[in-house]
Structure 1
């Protein structure tokens, strides 16, 4: 685990202890019953005490108020403590007096600190309305751009569907043979529902893109989203119709300078279709989350959590944005969802390996 040098583990505990505890509780609380029972059986047989209580708390069923289980800094009364904790992310944080005993979370797990943080509901961040919160002084990401550039509006079309959507062109990636537009599965492939070679538009049809003149690419590859199991990435690529139709400079930021592993407390920034330029701080790099999509709830393991500095880091329509380390402009994550307070991203290394590409 790559953490901030400022954070310490609990006495006599290793990062492995945190990971095992996080995994055990994630399986019990985030996975649907059938999957949770299968994957949790072995760890539950090995452990006792606080861990064994999980079976009584959930009875093999997911607690719908819990949307994430991760490793992050513990806070007390809103103030950081400098100590790593197993953190539970909840839609709503209730007073202890209002929580039934069967749903009460432990104060510690085998001696590891526990923290509970309100995050709201985690959703995939594609947009079906034209609203935007972008700063008017920034480049307009919803304009037609040639070449299309990372940070701008992008989307697909389903013939006969009255709805259109918009997401964000994340980055330009490549193989030895071609270059591709990188974004999310739900931005380019409509949550597994589109076929390869489906047309991709810039700007998205939601942002007044034209079906006849604004197709710039075709869907080339996507990583399938799967229910009832852990996912690692929400990712897809599309091949531009001509290489001159897509560039690699992120709006307002410039070109990515490579990749880096995210670290807790790393300062990051991004440019997206809805909120344009925002900056934030990495709060966790190993959080399992359940995210609401149109077709299903999907659970992801070991995701990055980003908290905005000075305001909201992202919103619906920013899905697909590349997240970069502010000091180096190295790519660290691919944004795909979150809430009004928390942003979720895939680790960029997992994205590139899954799609068998590298940064252009």
Structure 2
């Protein structure tokens, strides 16, 4: 099933840029802050996180709410040092227009709240054919539109040989734990697995079908495995991630847009400056707003899925950027982009992706 690629209107893009500019300026001002002040800020956010855990379910159940996280309070267009329980809504309404029971109080258990309009959060392609295929370019299951080739990873669940005891190229006496494993392509479930519907061996095209990828001529890999996305009230998700096996090692490279491979694996922190390379918006920068967000993401016909422990950044994506690797300015991988609006972008923590799929990012270190 193919889908249209989500595009933002001019007004939505303007709102996203305004928020991004405010956060970028605030992050730059805070960058030189002494460690003691940063520690105090972390301590102040602990109470907010506690309240979030306690009241998250009831807040997410309110009409119009699509996310909740600990972030900084905004007063008009000015960012404050005060941590707040930030509630993300599709549209801010006047009090008289809010349905009874869906109001967000000014405080919850003594913690200040903040309501931020972000629009609907949608599961979100350079778009030419390239060989070897490069992270940052268009890719996709033959039955979708297009997404982004995020990175190359090493499969730590599978040995490079199938024997019970590994005595392959690593030499006699080495066990499976010493095997370097296979190299796989990392992107989203909704890019490589057609939202839970793919079967092992399904063809993955580069570029994706929307960008002219032809079946089967442009096959660059085959679907390997995914973490199934859970929908509705039956549970929550940590990652929207999947793997594909290159048809030939010569077909892929680890260098992002052919320039430089990721240097390592790090973690996203509030106010961190980050970048990504994706199919649609190519190279974009952003600022981390929150690192423990819960969000409700619309996957179209498949429904709404709840994701917990997510990274929120300023808007840095559009339809087709799903699967992009989020990196800090030292090119350490920190997240996997999968959803967003014109105002904010949502990413899985890369460490959650690695742990869930049993892989390690291919890096220069």
TM-score relative to the length of structure 1: 0.80
C-alpha displacement at 1:101, in angstroms? 4.6
Query: Contact 1:88 / 1:117 at 8 angstroms: preserved in 2?
Result: yes
1:181 is aligned to 2:185: yes
Residue of structure 2 in register with 1:171 after alignment: 151
Residue 347 (str. 1) matches residue 349 (str. 2):
yes
Q: Distance in 1 between matches of 2:114 and 2:40?
A: 14
Q: Does 1:255 align with 2:257?
A: no
1:305 is matched with which residue? 312
Q: Which has the higher contact order (CA 8 A, sep 6+)?
A: 2
Equivalents in 2 of 1:7, 1:302: separation in Å?
A: 21
Whole-Å separation in 1 of the counterparts to 2:86 and 2:259: 32
**Residue 136 of structure 2 corresponds to which residue in structure 1?**
151
Distance 1:10-1:184 versus aligned 2 partners, 3 A rule: closer
As a proportion of its length, which structure holds more helix? 2
1:97 Cα shift?
Answer: 3.8
Q: CA deviation at 1:64?
A: 3.0
Offset of 1:194 from its aligned partner?
A: 1.0
Once the two structures are superposed, the pairs formed by residues 275-294 of structure 1 within 5 Å of their partners are 275-294=281-300
Structure 1 unmatched runs, 5+? 31-61, 128-140, 159-163
1:121 and 1:204 mapped to 2: Cα distance?
25
Equivalent residues of 2:154, 2:361 under 8 A apart = yes
Query: Aligned partners of 1:246, 1:299: CA distance in 2, in Å?
Result: 33
What residue number does 1:134 align with?
A: none
State the Cα distance separating 1:269 from its structure 2 match: 0.7
- Which digits, 9 at most, give the CA deviation of each residue in 1:263-308, with x for residues without a partner? 1111011111111111111111111000000301000001111104
Residue of 316, 320, 329 corresponding to 2:319: 316
CA contact (8 A) 1:150 1:247 kept: yes
Q: How far did 1:15 drift?
A: 4.3
CA contact (8 A) 2:299 2:305 kept: yes
| Structure-1 separation of matches of 2:39 and 2:183 | 42
Per-residue CA shift, 1:134-186, capped at 9, x if unaligned?
xxxxxxx111111100000001124xxxxx41000000001322100000000
1:191 aligns with 2:198: no
**Cα distance change of structure 1 residues 27 and 9 upon mapping to structure 2, 3 Å threshold:** farther
Equivalent residue for 1:210?
214
* In structure 1, distance between residues paired with 2:241 and 2:52: 25
By how many angstroms is 1:197 displaced? 1.4
Displacement of 1:9 after TM fit? 6.8
CA distance in 1, matches of 2:251, 2:258: 19
1:120-142 CA-partner distances (Å, limit 9, x unpaired): 100100x7xxxxxxxxxxxxx11
CA deviation vs aligned residue, 1:49-71 (integer Å, no higher than 9, x gap): xxxxxxxxxxxxx2230000111
List gaps (5 residues or longer) in structure 2. 1-29, 156-179
Please give the alpha-carbon distance, in whole angstroms, between the structure 2 residues aligned to 1:182 and 1:336.
12
Instruction: Assess if the C-alpha contact under 8 Å between 2:141 and 2:192 holds in 1.
Output: yes
Do the aligned residues in 2 keep the contact of 1:9 with 1:83 (CA within 8 Å)?
Answer: no
In the TM superposition, what are the counterparts of 1:1-360 in structure 2 within 5 Å? 15-30=45-60, 62-125=61-124, 141-158=126-143, 164-175=144-155, 176-227=180-231, 228=233, 229-251=235-257, 254-294=260-300, 295-308=302-315, 313-326=316-329, 328-360=330-362
Query: Which secondary structure state, in structure 2, belongs to the residue aligned with residue 147 of structure 1?
Result: coil
Deviation at 1:253, TM superposition (A): 5.5
Distance 1:104 1:215, change over 3 A: same
**TM value normalised by structure 2:** 0.79
- 1:65 and 1:101 map into 2 onto residues whose CA distance is 12
Superposed CA RMSD in Å reads 2.0
